[in-house]
Structure 1
C-alpha cells in the first residue's frame, strides 16, 4: 500500500472513537512485535516453520499465523518457543516510556531455555 492510498483511506474513514482506535492500534502493534519475535528467533535458529512447530509440539500453520500477526501466541507457547530455539525469553512490564529509558520502573519474568 502506498502512502497516498493510506492518506486517502484516512480521509474517507476519519477516527470517530480515539480510545477504540488507540486500543486497536496497541493490539496490532503487539501482534506485529510478536510476529517479528517469532520469525527472528526461528530464522536465527536456522529452522523452518515445520521444524519449529515439531519442536514446540504444534502445527506449521500455527507458526505461520504467529509470524503473520494473524494470531497471538500464549505465554505457554512463548515458553515453548524459547525452549525450542534455546533462548531465554523475558516478559517485562513497565510504565509506558516513549524515551525508552532504562531507568523506568519495571518487573520481569524470565522463561524459556535456562
Structure 2
C-alpha cells in the first residue's frame, strides 16, 4: 500500500467514532483540550521554542507543557490565563450545554 493511500489519524478516529458511541463520547470530551494542545504546539513551532523554553516563558514546568500538549485533559482557566499572559495567545472560550470550546475570534 502506498503512503498516499493510508488514512490520516483524523480519518481513522472519525470512522471509529461513527461506529462506536464510546469512542465518540471520548473524542467529544477531549475536543477542547486537543484544540488548546494544537495551539500550544503551533506557538512553540512558530517561535522555535522547546517545551522547557515555553514553560519558563509562561511560569510553568516542562511537564505541565507536555501534559497540555498531550490534549488528554482540559486546562483550567488559570492555565489559559498564564499562557495568554506569557505568550500573547488568545483563547476565546464558549461554554454551552455542558461543553467547552474555543471559538474563532
What is the distance in 2 between the residues matched to 1:88 and 1:32?
Answer: 16
Query: TM-score with structure 1 length normalisation?
Result: 0.56
What is the distance in 2 between the residues matched to 1:88 and 1:65?
Answer: 19
Higher helix share: 2
The aligned length equals 86
- Provide runs of 4+ in structure 1 moved above 6 Å: none
Judged with a 3 Å threshold, the aligned counterparts in structure 2 of structure 1 residues 64 and 87 are, in CA distance, closer, same or farther, namely same
Higher strand share: 1
Q: Secondary structure at the match of 2:93?
A: strand
Query: TM-score with structure 2 length normalisation?
Result: 0.60
Q: Which moved more, 1:56-65 or 1:46-55?
A: 46-55
Deviation, structure 1 residue 81: 0.7
Higher RCO, Cα 8 Å, sep 6+? 2
What is the distance in 1 between the residues matched to 2:93 and 2:54?
Answer: 21
Match of 1:100 in 2: none
RMSD of Structure 2 on Structure 1 (CA): 3.1
Deviation, structure 1 residue 93: 4.5
Larger Rg belongs to: 1
Match of 1:54 in 2: 56
Match of 2:25 in 1: 23
Can you give the 5+ residue segments of structure 1 that lack an aligned partner in the other structure? 96-107
- The C-alpha deviation readout for 1:3-61, integer Å capped at 9, x for no partner, is 6xx6xxx6xxx74xx3x544312013333222101111222233221121112221101
Match of 2:82 in 1: 80
